[in-house]
Structure 1
């Protein structure tokens, strides 16, 4: 009995899409990697139909691109470039900045609990960043949890939906260039402290600007890493 015979079609498509996106985000399917429906279907143990649907969605979201090859198009993982980094990080900064602005306006008790959570996550990041051999995957996890905390607290479902759609594209850059970005983590924890302070004080404007500044600085650090090791997947 095949997987498709036991799992509802919609659930299967979502599962295939999420797995394929995760492989791209975490760099297991690197920038420029060719995506062949038949090969992916064999790898995932499904027919080509859910693979095709997932690839179409990823194409619309910018994770996948189509290149002309004779009379046909060849699908591949989108390259990572400096211009993309600036654009994507800028978008994430705007979305998260709005969430932080609203988080700063939460009731005192709710805001205090959020601040405590943010402080704990940021402290754990600082510890991870000052290890003799920083663990990149753990620092990425902690950084993601830090940003997710104030987004979940401050954003409504529409803004969270936008964030869920765009944030993995930023994560992809972080995974691809994590070896060169690891040494900069401690700088980011200092920027996080400014975000925490603004939310603690109920400073909506300051919280929004602190988040935007964090992402702008992150984009600058990422661009420096890209300049150092090169853009990936560019033909």
Structure 2
């Protein structure tokens, strides 16, 4: 199987940080999403300060922010700990994602006035390809999958819906990436995305929504099967 490199549907941007605390915050979120930090891991502010090359003040500010978002907790006189996954919260976020994406797909099939056709063409160029041209890069496919769903919502032309969906996407990213640790799931994602896109292109609203709903439900089902052992395996992969 040949791995191809295709242009991302999202513009490449160099992140601009307005403070060291923001830089630390973004780095720690990436560490959690990339399984460099997994549920149960413990660390101190001094350890992070040394690793990131900053003082304890921005580290503490970033950690308090992550604490408010439910990623970490402070341990009395014993540093910090990455919190276990809150699966009930993930279930609720997946339900919200389902509502937003199915609504967007219905609009893509029926409303011609606000649809961003160029955006749809960009994701079609990634997913409607022969099997031999599919990527086998787990990280790349995970990123493209996220962009696929965000682009479907964005292409529907509702800025507020797009904003809420991107917030949901960011909050489920940590658990969602575990869906791409097996090649079978990558292959299935290509097939399912292609069917959804073809249904949208043909303006077949009901089949498109049905396919999308089944696709999200499958991913949600995989999330339910995730164990801490699988998280550690993902970090080691």
Fold conserved between structures, TM > 0.5: yes
1:191-230 correspondence to structure 2 within 5 Å: 191-203=192-204, 207-224=208-225, 226=226, 230=230
- Runs of 4+ in structure 1 off by over 4 angstroms are 71-74, 81-85, 108-112, 124-129, 203-209, 227-232
Matched, 1:20 2:21: no
Quick one: distance in 2 between partners of 1:135 and 1:160?
27
Question: Could you tell me which residue of structure 2 aligns to residue 57 of structure 1?
Answer: 65
Question: Could you tell me which residue of structure 2 aligns to residue 5 of structure 1?
Answer: none
Unaligned runs of 5+ in 2: 1-15, 233-237
- TM-aligned CA deviation for residue 185 of structure 1: 2.0
Q: 1:106 to 1:32 in 2, by over 3 A?
A: farther
- TM-aligned CA deviation for residue 176 of structure 1: 4.2
Question: Does the CA contact (< 8 Å) of 2:120 and 2:151 recur in 1?
Answer: no
From 26, 30, 45, the counterpart of 2:38: 30
Provide the alpha-carbon RMSD of the alignment: 3.6
From 41, 44, 49, the counterpart of 2:49: 41
Quick one: distance in 2 between partners of 1:97 and 1:35?
41
Tell me the alpha carbon deviations over residues 112-149 of structure 1, each in whole angstroms, 9 at most, x when there is no partner: 434432322213595466x7xx3212221221222232
Question: Does the CA contact (< 8 Å) of 1:100 and 1:154 recur in 2?
Answer: yes
> What secondary structure sits across from 1:76 in the alignment?
strand
Q: 1:115 to 1:177 in 2, by over 3 A?
A: closer
- TM-aligned CA deviation for residue 62 of structure 1: 2.7
Question: Could you tell me which residue of structure 2 aligns to residue 183 of structure 1?
Answer: 184
Question: Could you tell me which residue of structure 2 aligns to residue 100 of structure 1?
Answer: 105
TM-score (norm. length: structure 1): 0.71
Of Structure 1 and Structure 2, which has the larger fraction of its residues in helix? 1
> What secondary structure sits across from 2:42 in the alignment?
coil
Unaligned runs of 5+ in 1: 1-7
